[in-house]
Every structure is written in structure tokens, then in C-alpha cells.
Amino acid sequence: MANPTPARTPGAPPTPYNDLEWVTNSVTDVDDVYLLGSRCTACDNRMPGRRYACSNCMRTDLSTHRFGPAGILYSYTKVHVSPSSQEPYILGYVDLDEGVRVLAIVDGEFDDLHCDQPVELALVPSGDWAVRPRTRLAAMSANHHGVEK
């Protein structure tokens, strides 16, 4: 399902970067979320969002690329004042594993977060995408590599 554009709940935090489209493979698995971006077929440069030209080599032969769901929380802050959103909410820069950095709403407790923390894309109750501390992916990775829990 490509970017279903859910109805916004009044007072809900805004979708960070409205130009970033997200997809999920299942409406029942809210943790299965990806962001759509672009990849240059000439130089492999990966860019968040839909682009018309590569920001590295300026060629226009781009393909759609899925980013996520895993990433690392680069930095974060708590927003206490907003003219349009219910505060407080947490905003962070996330380095997705494919090499792009995006601004994202962080779904979590501020005191439980730290820089360089593994996070994953997820849908939040408002119907928007956000990131939250990694749980499901860590378990999948541990099982994939044969690590006992």
C-alpha cells in the first residue's frame, strides 16, 4: 500500500517531512514500514524522497529505493513549543541503514533514549510514520544469526 495518506487527528504531532512517502506491506503489521527514496543507477547515490536528478552526479536515471526499517538515532530533542502540534513531542535525526539521514518523530520515552541507539520505523496511532527504539528487528537479527535469547 503506497502512502495511503491517513486522516490527521487534531493535535497529533505532524508528519516529519511531508514529502517522504512511506509504505507498509501489510495494514495489520504496523511495524513493517519503509520510506521511499531514490537511488542513482549510475553512481549508487541514495537520497531520501523522490528526486528528479542525482545530487552527486546530476544524472536523471534514478530508481525508487526503500529505506528502513532499521536505523540509528543520531540526535534528538524534546519539542515544548509548537503553534500547530500538541507538545511535548520528541524529534530526532535518524541515520537509516541505507545511508540517508531523516528527521523523524520519535515514539518513546525521552529518558529511555540515547544517541547512537538502534531504532526502527513504525506507524504510530495517528497513522503517521515515526521511529521507536528497536525491539522487533533486534530479535529478528538475533534469531537470524543463531544467537540464543
Q: Shortest gap between Cβ of 101 and Zn ion (angstroms)?
A: 18
Residues 6+ apart with CB under 8 A from 126: 6, 8, 9, 12, 13
Q: Does 57 bind Zn ion (CB under 5 A)?
A: yes
- Asked if 45 interacts with Zn ion (CB under 5 A), we say yes
Angle at 61 between CA 59 and CA 66, to 5 degrees: 115
- Cβ 65 to Zn ion, closest distance in Å? 12
Residues β-bridged to residue 35: 22, 67
Smallest gap from residue 43 Cβ to Zn ion (A): 3
Options 45-53, 78-86, 87-95, 129-137: segment touching Zn ion (CB under 5 A): 45-53
CA distance 5 to 20: 11
> Dihedral angle at the C-alpha atoms of 111, 20, 23, 123, nearest 10 degrees?
20
d(CA 85, CA 71): 25
Is 54 a residue that touches Zn ion (CB under 5 A)?
yes
- Of residues 58 and 79, the one with the C-beta less far from Zn ion: 58
Q: Region of 35 please: left (phi>0), alpha (psi -120 to 50) or beta.
A: beta
* Minimum CB distance to Zn ion smaller for 43 or for 138: 43
Q: Which stretch binds Zn ion (CB under 5 A): 5-13, 14-22, 44-52, 65-73?
A: 44-52
Asked if residue 15 binds Zn ion (CB under 5 A), the reply is no
Among 5, 9, 25, 56, binds Zn ion (CB under 5 A): 56
Binding site for Zn ion (CB under 5 A): 40, 42-43, 45, 54, 56-57
